Amino acid sequence: MSRTPFTAILAVLLTLTLSACGGEKPAEVATPQKEEAGHDEDGHAHDEGEADTDSTTIKTEMAAQAGIVSAPVQAGTIADEHEVQGLLTPVDGRVAQVTARFPGPIRALRANVGDRVRAGQPLASIDSNLSLTTYSISAPISGVVLSRQAQIGAVAGEGTALFEIGDLSELWVDLHIFGADTQHITAGVPVTITRMTDGVSQSATLERVLPGTATASQSTVARASVRNEDGLWRPGAAVTARIVVAMQPAEKVVPLSALQTLEGRDVVFVRDGETYTARPVTLGARDASKVEVKAGLELGEQVVVEQSYVVKADIGKAGAAHEH
């Protein structure tokens, strides 16, 4: 989703304010109309004292400059989601220990922690105390040097671990689930994993729910995998995740970005040409990105889904100008 520069939005709002106060053609404000007592087209009862409708007119070119985008009301689904936290860990079988084959002093080291190495690349040279010759040790797999326990001149014992190398191109995500949530979360459901450092997300599938319980936290561990193409998913880092356990159909949904509050009511802004009208809505279930609309909108109506706060601000300014 693109973001309109803040200065551009301010410029549009200033232009609309000046025109509303008498410089150019004032912003059009719909004549307040009270609905008669009865029922609307959806069959919902309403009172004679129901609040007036607020509208404003925004020229097409100004709406474009402010980044105002509208989209039709459509049917959709609302996700039943559970938000949990977890940790990134290396995949079993993708971490290798590099050890000395024969005891002897270390003569050279050719890799440091954090270096990327390829399988077969020499990592160190050691003088063998047994054969009195120098031999090399090499990386058994391609990956990143995770640790090094070797110093030049130190004596390496036979079987002593000198390096640890990990293939971090893919990582496990161990998600900790507590209480009743463990009864709803099963393998095979979609999960969205988000880095806490920069908010980058990745979609995955929950691969398995481990049979045991984490001793320290008394949680059930559910596991997924993430691709680590940018190298910024780091083992040991905390992440958040949204696990979708069910999808509920909804007759009408709008993005959360469409919602605003006006005079204590939940509203969306319906566009008809260059006229934007605040429409009170009755809301139902919601998830991380959208909400069900139970009353107040019809399928196909154009609703502002981006920069809705700009329309709200213009309605407020147009109303103030009208009072003058």
Same domain, 110 and 232: no
Residue 219 lies in a domain: yes
Same domain, 126 and 142: yes
Tell whether the torsion through CA atoms of 174, 180, 181 and 186 is positive or negative.
positive
The alpha carbon of 134 is separated from its chain's Cα centroid by a whole number of angstroms, namely 53
Contact 78, 285 (CB under 8 A): yes
The structural domain count of the chain equals 3
Residue 306 lies in a domain: yes
Compute the distance between CA of residue 247 and CA of residue 82 in angstroms, rounded to an integer: 12
CATH of the domain at 126: 2.40.50.100
Which residue, 9, 55, 34, is CA-closest to 319?
Answer: 55
Residue 136 lies in a domain: yes
Same domain, 182 and 231: yes
Q: How many Cα neighbours within 13 Å face the side chain of 4? A: 19
- Which of 244, 278, 305 is the endpoint of a domain? 244
Residue 42 lies in a domain: yes
CATH of the domain at 306: 2.40.420.20
Residue 234: per-residue pLDDT: 93
Residue 1 lies in a domain: no
Tens of each residue's pLDDT in the chain, 324 residues? 444 454 555 555 555 554 444 444 444 434 334 334 344 444 333 343 333 458 999 999 999 999 999 999 999 999 888 889 999 999 999 999 999 999 999 999 999 999 999 999 999 999 999 999 999 999 999 999 999 999 999 999 998 899 999 999 999 999 998 887 777 788 999 999 999 999 999 999 999 999 888 777 788 999 999 999 989 999 999 999 999 888 889 999 999 999 999 889 999 999 999 999 999 999 999 988 899 999 999 999 999 999 999 999 988 876 555 555
Range of the domain at 105: 95-166
Same domain, 47 and 178: no
Per the listing, tokens 């020229």 go with 59
Same domain, 120 and 56: no
Q: What are the two backbone dihedrals, phi and then psi, of residue 262, each rounded to the nearest 5 degrees?
A: -135, 120
Same domain, 260 and 317: yes
Which residue, 63, 22, 117, 119, is CA-closest to 271?
Answer: 63
CATH of the domain at 184: 2.40.30.170
Same domain, 46 and 64: yes
Residue 211 lies in a domain: yes
Same domain, 207 and 86: yes
Residue 58 lies in a domain: yes
Same domain, 196 and 215: yes
Burial of residue 21 (CB within 10 Å: 0-12, 13-18, 19+) is: middle
Same domain, 85 and 209: yes
Residue 214: per-residue pLDDT: 77
Same domain, 87 and 103: no
Residue 9: per-residue pLDDT: 55
Same domain, 108 and 255: no
- Which of 166, 182, 204 is the endpoint of a domain? 166
Q: How many Cα neighbours within 13 Å face the side chain of 243? A: 30
Residue 50: per-residue pLDDT: 39
- Which of 166, 189, 205 is the endpoint of a domain? 166
Residue 52 lies in a domain: yes
